[in-house]
Amino acid sequence: MLKAKNKLGLVFFPAFDWAISPTHPEREERLLYTQDQVFEEGIADIEGIKFYNPGIATEKDVERVHFCVPDVKTRVTQSHLISAGGAIKAAEAVMEKEVDKAFAIVRPPGHHAQRVVFGDRGFCIINIEAVMLENIRQRFGNKKVAIVDTDCHHGDGTQDIYWNDKDTLYISFHQDGRTLYPGTGFIDEFGGPSAIGYNINIPLPPETGEEGFLYVLDNLVMPILEEYKPDLIINSAGQDNHYTDPITNMKFTAYGYAELTQRLNPDIAVLEGGYSIEGALPYVNLGIILAMAGLDYSHVREPDYDPEKLKQSPEITEYIKKLCDKIYKRWLRREDIRRETIKNQQYILRHRSIYYDTDGIHETQIQRFKVCPNCSGVNTIQSRSDWGVEIFAISIPRDACKACIDEGYNLYNKIAEGKYYKVYLQDRVNDVFMSK
């Protein structure tokens, strides 16, 4: 019988009775063949691998991260709460030391869900990693965490949520935003005033292959992680960099994903996107499971794997080397860049325009961050959807000083009822959420 080197918790919840719509990529069938592969390989019989059912995230879990308009109940289905609950279950098993590592193979995904939620974008309504992480922080203390997002799309939701939080380093590899949804994730998106340098985007050219991904990991991501020294590494394990994915243009492989996972060595992985449900997901998920369990993944290969066809061009190799170099230099200069950006400003504004592709909503935002010498600073979002709804949200961060807490509550109390459709206050110091 096989024995895992690392005790691994698996939350495998394919939600076989839920779809966005019958022919949508995010449909019942998505993890069917992955389940077949996982069952056929006898993963459940490997000593040291334990399967868990997901829990169900609560409204409070969601409110630590999001401002759902008008409220959580209206926006979020049971399926979303279970997906986030699956991620929480995985993290909990690691935090309680029942297992060394955990992988939540759950759906729907979450990394496009931003702080304000008017609807579904990029198949996401709530950010399952963020809901997981804030639940864990609430129960196990304020961990220093790195989220490494290996989905092919830029995780603009996770970026927005942790924009101003330097205790959460967000690193995203993705296909260049000039060529793919959501069109963001450029290297100058570098973090909010209190966390400049702690949001690292690595926009890769189409056709990047195993060589490129592993180069980025070894030469950029790992050195940054070594300097950052996180307590926990979370992998947003999207699988759409695969060469068979129908909606992206990369050349990554199942073996490559396994190798990347082994080198990155995450504590927790959470499935994100990936819609090559027959040609990629069964093999990529298997590869990640084996790599996390510390088992041999050298036999994981797709049926049509052809190393010659999947080789990236020398131009791409060269481009990626230069890109990594440039990003790493920026990372080293982050303190200088922070000084240059902030100068003497007390508040920093950020204007944003957000499109909800799945629900066809357009949102405009003004985010306002207080530059506080004692904490990350209270911040606000004034947001309007093209359906004519305007809201105002105040967020008091986990490390807020007394002055910022007071400023947050004063703001909330001062706004007259009726001025906005909804006003929200998220107080992460006292774990309080209110709205009017």
Partner 1 sequence: MGGTHVDAVIIDRGNIIDVVKTPTDHTNLFGSIWETLNHLLKGKDISSISHINLSTTISTNAIVEGKTAPVGMIIESGPGVEPSFLACGSENIFITGYVDHRGREIKSFKPEEIQEAVSKFKEKNIKACAVVAKFSVRKPIHEIEICKLLEDKFSPVTMGHTLSGRLNFPRRVYTSYLNSAVYFVFKSFCESIKKAMKKENINVPVNVLKADGGTISLDAGQQYPVNTILSGPAASVMGALAFNPDEKDGVFLDIGGTTTDISFVADGVPLFEPFGIKIGNYNTLVRAIYSVSIGLGGDSAIHVENGEIKIGPHREGPPMAIGGLVPTPSDAMIVLGLLDFGNKERAISAMRDLGEKLQLDAKATAELIYEKMGDIIKQEVNNILEEINSRPVYTVKELLYGKKLKPKYISLIGGPAKALAPLLEREFNLPCYVPENYEVANAIGAALAKTTAEVTLLADTAEGKLSVPEMGIYEKIGKDFTIDKAEQRALELLRELASAIGTSDKEFEGEITEKSSFNMVRGFYTCGKNIRVRAQIKPGLLYKLN
Closest contact distance (angstroms) between CB of 300 and partner 1 is 6
Q: Which residues pair with 83 in a beta bridge?
A: none
Report the site for partner 1 in 28-87 (rule: CB under 8 A). 28-29, 32-33, 35-37, 39-45, 51-54, 56, 78-79, 82
Looking at 128, 234, 295, 423, which residue binds partner 1 (CB under 8 A)? 295
Q: Which residues pair with 186 in a beta bridge?
A: none
* Structural element, H or E, at residue 132: helix 128-140
Looking at 97, 229, 299, 343, which residue binds partner 1 (CB under 8 A)? 299
The one segment of 144-152, 198-206, 277-285, 390-398 that binds partner 1 by CB under 8 A: 277-285
Residue 111 is a catalytic residue: no
Cβ–Cβ < 8 Å for 43, 49: yes
The token duo for 109 is 């995904």
The one segment of 6-14, 157-165, 212-220, 226-234 that binds partner 1 by CB under 8 A: 6-14
Rounded Cα distance between 250 and 272, Å, is: 16
- Residue 357 interacts with partner 1 (CB under 8 A): yes or no: no
Q: Which residues pair with 382 in a beta bridge?
A: 366, 392
- Residue 2 interacts with partner 1 (CB under 8 A): yes or no: yes
| CA-CA-CA-CA dihedral for 145, 149, 154, 156, to nearest 10 | -30
- Give me the catalytic one of 80, 111, 112, 153: 112
Looking at 61, 210, 259, 302, which residue binds partner 1 (CB under 8 A)? 302
- Residue 387 interacts with partner 1 (CB under 8 A): yes or no: no
- Residue 314 interacts with partner 1 (CB under 8 A): yes or no: no
- Residue 20 interacts with partner 1 (CB under 8 A): yes or no: no
The one segment of 65-73, 118-126, 265-273, 298-306 that binds partner 1 by CB under 8 A: 298-306
248-284 burial code (b ≥16 CB/10 A, e <16): bbbbbbbbbbbbbbbebebbbbbbbbbbbbebbbbbb
Report the site for partner 1 in 208-267 (rule: CB under 8 A). 246
Cβ–Cβ < 8 Å for 103, 31: no
Measure CA of the first residue to CA of the last residue in the chain; give whole Å.
58
312 secondary structure, DSSP code: P
Beta carbons within 8 Å of 67's beta carbon, 6+ residues apart: 115, 116, 117, 381, 391, 393, 424, 426
- Residue 181 interacts with partner 1 (CB under 8 A): yes or no: no
For 253-313, where are the alpha helices, taking DSSP H only? 254-264, 281-293
Closest contact distance (angstroms) between CB of 295 and partner 1 is 7
Closest contact distance (angstroms) between CB of 28 and partner 1 is 5
3-state DSSP assignment of residue 260: helix
Looking at 18, 170, 173, 190, which residue binds partner 1 (CB under 8 A)? 18
Closer residue to partner 1, CB minimum distance, 6 or 435: 6
Closest contact distance (angstroms) between CB of 105 and partner 1 is 11
| Active-site annotation, residues | 112
Binding-site ranges for partner 1 (CB under 8 A): 1-2, 12-18, 22-23, 27-29, 32-33, 35-37, 39-45, 51-54, 56, 78-79, 82, 246, 278, 282-283, 286, 290, 295-296, 298-303
